[in-house]
Structure 1
C-alpha cells in the first residue's frame, strides 16, 4: 500500500519542477513511510511513497521498463495490492516476459506491455495507479472496481494533477482550495456524493471501475467494469457452497504478505467469517482486534443500527477460533484530541468520533501488524442493514439508506435553501444513480426493487465507508484489505435472488449459511451491529460545546448559511433514528465543515 502523485503538462518542462513534485509526493508520507521516489521527464512527473508489503527489497517506484519495440519508457506509480500477481507472473513468463523482482509492481508493468490498457481486465485486487507510456504520450489513471483505493485528479488547460489524496494536489500552486454552496448537501452528508464528486471545486475522483486517459487531446474517462444482471440458476445449497468456495479463495489470496498480518474482529458475522477463514490458512498465532469505550457498561444505548456492544461477541468468536484477541478500550474524552489528525488524513471534513476512534484503533494495531483483513462491504453485498427490511424505506422514493433521519440541509437558512434547492438536489442524485442500476429483463416487484436498493447501497454508502477505512488506516501506515469487495464474489452474489439472500427470514442468510460450520452459535445468530459509537455524557458535552461555538461565532465559514434556531432545536432533541446514533451524530458535520474550511482555507462561492 502506498501513496501516488503526479503532474502532466504538454506546455511546460516539468524537469524544472522537481521541488513542487517532491512536495506533492512528500505530502503522502504517512501512506508510504518506508521509501519514496520521483521520476521526471519534460512533460510528465511521477511521485511515489511506499509502504512495503510484498518484496520488501524490490518493487521500488516509480518503476520503469523500456519495451524492445519502441525503447520509449513505460513508467508506473502504483498504490494497492493485486492479489493474483503470482498467477499473472506465470502467464507472462510463459509469454516470454522476464522479471528482475518478485513484486506485483513489475507484474503490472509487464501486463500493460502484453495487453495494453485491457490489462486491467486481468487484475484482481484493490488498486489505484498511473502509467505513463512515452511512446504513446499518454497517461493512464486506473482505480479498482469498487473504489477501495482512492485516486483524485484536477484537469486544467493543457495539464492534469493527480494524487492518492487531495493533499497531493493542494501541494501544487496550480490548485486552489475552493468550494461552493451547491456542495453543501454532500458536505453535510458525504454519502450523497456522486462517484466522481468531491467537496472541492474542480477536483474529481476517478470513478470506481474507471480509467482516465490524458493525452494532448485532453482527459477522457471511461468504464472498464460494471455489474451485469443475469439469471441465477443455482439452488440455495449450491449457492451457499459456491459463496463459501469463492470467499475462501479470496481470503487465501489476501493473506499474502511479507509483514505481520491480523484481522479486525468485531464479533459480527462478517468479520468473524473472515477471521475464521484466515485462521484456517495462517500459521498459529493469528491476532485480531476490536474497539470499545471505557464506561460503555453504563453509557451504552441500543439503537436500530447498534443494538448491542461488540466486545462480548468478539471475545466469544476469538475463543472459538483460537486467535489472540485484543479489545482496545478507548477513553471517549480522548476522541476530540485526535480530530486534527483525522482531518489531516482526510483533507475533507472529518466524521467526528467515528474517524477518531478508528484512527486510534488503527494506530494501536500498527504497533503490532502492517496488514489487517476487514469484514467491510458484506452488508452491502449480502443485504445486512435495517433499511433493507423496513417497508417504508425500501419503497420510499429516495435513498433507502437515509432511513428516517431528518436532513441536515433542513437547517440551512431559508435564502440558502432557495438558492441550492437541496430537496431537488437529493431527487436528482437519486434519479441519476437509480438509472445506473443494471436491470434484469422481466424482473418486477420486490426482487426488482431490492436490486435497486442493493445497487444504491454499493454507491455512496459503501464508498463512504471504504474511504473512512482507507484514510484512517493509511494515516498510520496500516494496510486494510477487504475480501468482501472482491469483484468475483460480488458478481456472483449480485445475481442471487433476494429471497435466497434472506432465505431464513433474516439479514445475510446466504452468508450465514455459507459459514455456518465455522462460527459459534451466538456469533452466527447475532443481529447486525454497526461500527461502535460512544454515548458518553462527557463526549456529548464536548460536542455540544463545539457546536455552540460554531453557532455563536460570527466569523465562522458557516455564518449566515444556517438557521441557527432550527439547529439548536434539533440539538436539544433525542429522536430515535435508524441510521444515526443520536441527534449530535446528525449535527457533527456542522462542526467538521467549519474546521475543514478554516483549516484548509477553503473559500466559499455562491
Structure 2
C-alpha cells in the first residue's frame, strides 16, 4: 500500500511541483519516495514497504527502461502470474508484485486486467508511445483521482496531490454538494472539486495527445444458481473465504485484523488466525463492542488491542479526519475507523477488515424491506399511493407511517443505496441556491436498468455495490487507514468470493428473521452463536446522544450560522433541524451530521483551518 501522484506536460519547475504533490501524501508511504521525470511525464511515489522490502521501490521499469509504473495496492496472485510470464520469456529483477504488472502489460496490454486478483490503482507510462495507461480495481478498494487541464492530465491517489499542481485552480463543485446531501457522499465520478473526477472501479484509461479514453473492463453481475442447496453454498463460501484470506495474508511484515462484535470482521479474524486484533468502543454500553471483541479474541486465542474513544477525542479529530478524507463523508463510523486504524498502526503495518460482506451476501437490514412489504404491495398501486399521501399529511410520527409511505413506492423510487439523507424537497429548502435538476432517480436508473429482471433484494445489492460501497465504505476504509500509514486488506472483496456470492439465490441470503443467512451459516463453524447471529452494528457511534449535549449542540450551531453556512444554506432551516433534534421532536442526527461534515470539509480546504489546503 502506497500512494502515487503525477502529471503530463513539461513544467520548468516540474520536479519541485512533483515533490510538493508527493509530500501531500507522505502519510500513505512514509518509508521511501521515488520519482521519474522525462519532461513529458512526471511520476512520483510514496512507499509503505510490505512485500520485497529491499527491492520493491517505485517507480519501477521494464528491462529497457521504456515502460515505467507507479502502483498502489496488492496483487494477490502475482506469484502465479510471475511463473506464467517467466514461461513466456520474461526476465524479473526482483520478487515484487509491481514488476509482475509491468511484464503483464508488456505481454497482454489492457487484457492483463482480467488476470489480476487484488486491490490496485496504477499508472504505466509507455515512453515510446508517449501514452499513459491507468486502471482501478474491480470494486474500487484503491482510489484514483484525475483532472485534465490544458491538454495534460494531473492524477493521484488523493485529491490533495492534485491541489498542489499550479495548473489546477480549486473550486467547489455544486453538483457534488446537491447529490451529497441526499447520498451522504459524492456520487459516481464527480468529486467536490470542480473538474476533478474519480476513475470508477472496473475502469481503465489511456491518455495520449491530450485526449483521455476511459472504458469499463469489468462489472459485477448476479446470476442465481437454483440447482445448488444451502449446504452447497455454505461450503463454497467457506472455501472461497479461506482461499481469499490465505492470499490476503501474503506479506513480508506482520498482519493483524480489525474486530467488532459482528459476524463479518469476526469471520475474517477467525479464518485468518493471526496474532493481533484491534477494536474501538465508546462510553455507552450500546455503542461499546470492546467486551464482545475481547471475549471472541480469547475464544479464538488471538490478542486483542482496544481503545475506548471519548466524545472529546472524537470531536477533536473531525477536522483532521475530513482533511484526510479529501471530500465530505457523512458517515459517523468513519471516525471510529480512524481510531481503530490508529490503534492497529501501533502494532502492525497491515490489517484485515470485513468490508464487502453486506453488499455481497445481503447483510443490511433494509434488504428485508421487500419481504416485509410483499403483502401490502399486493394492494392496487393507486390505493397504496392514497394511503401514503394520507400518512405523509399527518404531521406527527405513528407506528407504520414509514411502512405506508415506502411500501407505496417501487424499489427504483425508494432505494438509492444504504443511506438517504435529504429528499429533493428537503434539499431545496435548506440550500440557498438549489438547481432542482439533480434527481437521485436519474443517477440510479442506468444501474437499475441493468438488473431489470432481478428480484428487489438483488437490485438493492447491485445499487449498493455501485454506489454505497464505492462512495462510503471503501472511501473511509482507505483514507482512515492510510492516515496512519496502515494498509487495510478486505478479503470479502475478492473476485473469487464474489464469484460465489453472485450465484447465491436470494432465499439463502435474506429472510424475515435474518440477513446474509448463508454466510452466517459458514461463519457458524468458527464463531459462537452470539457473534454469528448478531445483528449488524459495525463500529457504532452515539451521535444522536451527543447532539443533545449543550457542548456539541453549540458547536454545531456555531457552524450552522457561520459565513460558510450562509454562503450555501438557509441557516434558519439548519438551526431548526438542530433544535428539533435537541428538543426530541425528531431524530435529525444524520441530517445534521451531513451538513456539518460539509462545513468542516469546506473550512479545511477553502477556509482557515490548520489543515487548509
Query: TM-score, normalising length from structure 1?
Result: 0.88
Matched, 1:194 2:201: no
Corresponding position of 2:378: none
Conserved? CA contact 1:189–1:589, under 8 Å: no
Q: Judging changes above 3 Å, is the alpha-carbon distance between structure 1 residues 149 and 409 closer, same or farther for their aligned structure 2 residues?
A: farther
Aligned twin of 2:243: 249
Distance 2:130 2:75 in 1: 26
Tell me what 2:326 maps to. 347
Q: Is 1:271 aligned to residue 265 of structure 2?
A: yes
Pairing 1:137–2:130 present: yes
Query: Where does residue 305 of structure 1 map in the other structure?
Result: none
- For 1:410, which of 409, 426, 442 is the aligned residue? 426
C-alpha spacing 1:236/1:289, structure 2 compared with 1 (3 Å)? same
Paired residues, what number? 567
Q: 2:232 matched to 1:238?
A: yes
Find out whether 1:34 has 2:49 as its counterpart.
Answer: no
* Matched residue, 1:287: 276
Per-residue CA deviation, residues 289-321 of structure 1 (Å, 9 max, x unaligned), is: 11101x313xx4xxxxxxx74233322321221
Alpha-carbon distance in 2 for matches of 1:197, 1:538: 30
Q: Does 1:543 align with 2:540?
A: no
Partner of 1:596: 601
Aligned residues of 2:345 and 2:486 also touching (Cα < 8 A): yes
| Whole-angstrom CA distance in 1 between matches of 2:416 and 2:131 | 41
2:154, 2:37 → 1: CA distance? 14
Aligned-residue offset at 1:483: 0.8
Q: CA deviation at 1:411?
A: 5.2
| Aligned-partner SS, 2:188 | coil
- What secondary structure does 1:349 align onto? coil
Write the mapping of 1:393-408 to structure 2, written as runs, cut at 5 A: 395-396=410-411, 397-399=413-415, 401=417, 406-407=422-423
1:65 counterpart = 2:46 = no
Structure 1 segments unaligned to the other structure (5+ residues): 301-307
Q: What is the CA–CA distance in structure 2 between the aligned matches of 1:225 and 1:538, rounded to whole Å?
A: 43
Mapped pair 1:8 → 2:8: yes
Q: Is the 8 A contact 2:184 2:420 kept in 1?
A: no
Give how far 1:352 is off: 7.3
- The aligned runs of 1:151-550 (5 Å cut-off) are 151-191=144-184, 193-216=186-209, 218-232=211-225, 233-279=227-273, 282=274, 286-293=275-282, 295-297=283-285, 300=286, 309-349=288-328, 351=330, 353-390=332-369, 391=373, 395-396=410-411, 397-399=413-415, 401=417, 406-407=422-423, 410=426, 412-413=428-429, 416=432, 419-421=434-436, 424-435=438-449, 437-438=450-451, 443=453, 448-463=455-470, 464-502=472-510, 505-535=513-543, 537=546, 540-550=549-559
Q: TM-score, normalised by structure 2?
A: 0.87
Q: CA deviation at 1:265?
A: 0.8
8 A contact 1:185–1:192 mirrored in 2: no
On the 8 A contact 1:412/1:563 being kept in 2, the answer is: no
The superposition leaves residues 229-266 of structure 1 with CA deviations (integer Å, 9 ceiling, x where unpaired) of 43513222112111111111000000111112111110
Bigger drift between 392-401 and 23-32 goes to: 392-401
Tell me, yes or no, if the aligned pair for 1:434 and 1:456 is still in contact at 8 Å.
yes
Runs of 4+ in 1 over 6 A off after TM superposition: none
Alignment match, 1:304 = none
Superposed CA offset, 1:87-107 (max 9, x none): 111111122222111111111
* Structure 1 residue 408: Cα displacement: 8.7
Could you report, residue by residue, the CA deviation over 1:447-470 in whole angstroms, capped at 9, with x for unpaired residues? 522221110111221111110111
Root-mean-square deviation (CA), in Å?
2.6
Shift of 1:415: 7.5
Structure 1 position 39, deviation (Å)? 0.3
Q: Distance in 1 between the 2:292 and 2:462 partners?
A: 30
Inter-partner Cα distance in structure 2 for 1:31 and 1:501? 37
